[in-house]
């Protein structure tokens, strides 16, 4: 399995890291798991921002998955370039979530652009 495909696996599970941070920070009790979405909707502060990072991660992941699969299948770029862009995406998503939780809005937006740029680069380079 290529590094890029490992990054796909990481990206799929990364939102759940932010879910865990949101739940732990909000005092979630596993015994009371009947309405987890309602619980997440009631959070404030850093826990709420972790939940928002989770939601954004679910939104952006499909585009990343498609970009990696397309880049791998078309094979117009080197495997090392695909792997590097995939790693950049995963690292940017980790940084994005951290910036979100720490309420660093400007830095979070900049990091978001890096992640989106890596998706765009995978797709644009695959079209060449």
Domain that holds residue 34: 3-127
Residue pLDDT, tens place only, 36-61: 888 889 999 999 999 999 999 999 99
Instruction: In whole angstroms, give the CA distance from residue 103 to residue 37.
Output: 22
Output the CA torsion 86→89→93→96 (10° steps).
160
Task: Compute the distance between CA of residue 56 and CA of residue 107 in angstroms, rounded to an integer.
Answer: 16
Structural domains of the chain, count: 1
Residue 31 is predicted with a pLDDT of 66
pLDDT confidence tier of residue 128, bands split at 50, 70 and 90? confident
Instruction: Give me the CATH number covering residue 89.
Output: 1.20.120.550
pLDDT of residue 34: 83
Residues 23 and 39 sit within 8 Å (Cβ to Cβ): yes
In this predicted model, what pLDDT tens digit does every residue of 57-102 receive, in sequence order? 999 999 999 999 999 999 889 999 999 999 999 999 999 999 999 9
């Amino acid at each position: 399995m290529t590094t890029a495909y490992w990054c796909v696996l990481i990206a799929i599970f990364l939102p759940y890291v932010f879910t865990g941070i949101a739940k732990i920070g909000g005092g979630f009790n596993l015994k009371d798991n009947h309405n987890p979405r309602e619980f997440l909707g009631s959070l404030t502060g850093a826990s709420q921002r972790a939940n928002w990072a989770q939601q954004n991660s679910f939104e952006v992941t499909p585009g990343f998955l498609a970009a990696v699969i397309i880049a791998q299948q078309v094979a117009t770029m080197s495997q090392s370039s695909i792997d590097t862009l995939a790693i950049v995406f995963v690292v940017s998503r980790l940084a994005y979530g951290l910036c979100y939780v720490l309420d660093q809005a400007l830095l979070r937006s900049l990091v978001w652009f890096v992640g989106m740029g890596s998706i765009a680069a995978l797709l644009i380079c695959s079209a060449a």
